[in-house]
Amino acid sequence: MSNASQQGGFAIALLLWMIAGMSLMVAAVIHFAHQDTGMAELRVREARAQALGRGVAYLLLRDKALAAYTAASQGADPALQPEQGEPDSDKPTLFTKQYQFDQEWVVTGTLRPSSGFVSLNDADRNELMMLFTGLGKVDDKDAMAMIDGVLTYRTDFPGFRYPEELLAVAGSSRVVYDNVKPYVHAYRTGPLSAGSAPSQLADLARNEADTASVAAGPPTSPSKSGRGVIEGRITFESIAESMRNPGGVAQSISAAELEITLSGGEKLAQTTWVSGQGAGEVLRSGSVMFNKNRGVGR
């Protein structure tokens, strides 16, 4: 074989190697671009769901107020719904309504009073023990350490501002926090009302009904923290206001529990905390999660 033929063969082989390398590079770019596109679509969907959740929370507040006004004007009990008799005082009727948007999103929203959750700022030892042992799945010794940590945190700081601060409490762990986070909040709303609680917490509270910290009906006791009630997020201004007006219990905060059904049948869940005072206010929007037996994002 001549020298020219060998050089031509090497050139062809080199060209083929370059083509193969460029093909692999293009395939990699397409692969990562596809992943980036999928992530971008996911983020857009989450952003839309977040915005939709805030909007539906406002709609729930409005429609609940309208329903109460209509019932009052007709002389009816706003807690009653059609074809119902007198409601069980231990099982108050929760306001629920469904909304549809552009044939693509169907949102079912339920307003649950904040008294149906454990307040990290107001719960006493018995209520915290029930929470950490019954839902947190920790033994009594570890639960006592966490309770001491919660009470110390409430003494050393103005109080819990976010549920995530429970992770900073001595004896806490991510596992315990994940177990209890659907059932707690950081607002000052007094003791737990078993009748307003989600089923798992309500069953646990009724089993512990002999403890003085669990109320069978709406809570009426003021906060035992030494400060007054703080409506909404804890700030320097709200702390000062609570000291000026130490009486009463915040009643207007609710959890808007949302189930979002997409056009393909996929279900998402989210919890948005709202205040019904005045024109209403969104206090906190939880993360959007895939609905697995109504797993709620907080």
Average confidence (pLDDT) over 284-288: 83
Q: Is residue 30 part of a domain?
A: no
One domain, residues 109 and 123: no
| pLDDT, averaged across the chain | 76
What would the two tokens of residue 293 be?
């037996």
Residue 80 predicted with pLDDT over 50: no
**pLDDT score recorded for residue 263:** 79
Q: How far apart are the first and last CA of the chain?
A: 76
E strand spans, the chain: 95-101, 105-113, 118-119, 184-185, 253-262, 267-275, 281-285, 289-290
Instruction: Say what the pTM is.
Output: 0.69
**How many folded domains does the chain comprise?**
2
Alpha-carbon dihedral angle through residues 84, 85, 86, 89, given to the nearest 10 degrees: -50
One domain, residues 265 and 235: no
Helix residue spans in 85-212 (DSSP H):
125-134, 140-156, 174-180, 199-207
CATH number of the CATH domain containing 110? 3.30.1300
One domain, residues 110 and 130: no
Q: Which of 61-70, 81-90, 220-229, 230-239 has the highest mean pLDDT?
A: 61-70
Maximal C-alpha separation, the chain? 107
Quote the domain boundaries for residue 71: 52-115+252-290
One domain, residues 158 and 233: yes
Q: Is residue 158 part of a domain?
A: yes
Q: Is residue 39 part of a domain?
A: no
Look at strands 267-275 and 289-290 and give their pairing: antiparallel
One domain, residues 103 and 131: no
One domain, residues 103 and 69: yes
Q: Is residue 236 part of a domain?
A: yes
Whole-angstrom distance, CA of residue 288 vs CA of residue 269: 6
One domain, residues 104 and 134: no
Q: Is residue 265 part of a domain?
A: yes
One domain, residues 108 and 160: no
3-state DSSP assignment of residue 44: helix
Residue 229 predicted with pLDDT over 60: no
Can you say how many angstroms the Cα of residue 167 is from the centroid of all Cα atoms in its chain? 16
Q: Is residue 263 part of a domain?
A: yes
For 129-139, write each residue's pLDDT tens digit: 999 999 999 99
What's the pLDDT band for 291 if we cut at 50, 70, 90? Answer: low
Least confident interval from 221-230, 234-243, 256-265 = 221-230
One domain, residues 172 and 283: no
Q: Is residue 93 part of a domain?
A: yes
One domain, residues 143 and 181: yes
Average confidence (pLDDT) over 195-215: 75
Q: Is residue 161 part of a domain?
A: yes
More confident residue, 25 or 235: 25
Would you tell me how many other CB atoms lie within 10 Å of the CB of residue 129?
20
One domain, residues 105 and 76: yes
For 143-169, write each residue's pLDDT tens digit: 999 999 999 998 888 788 889 999 998
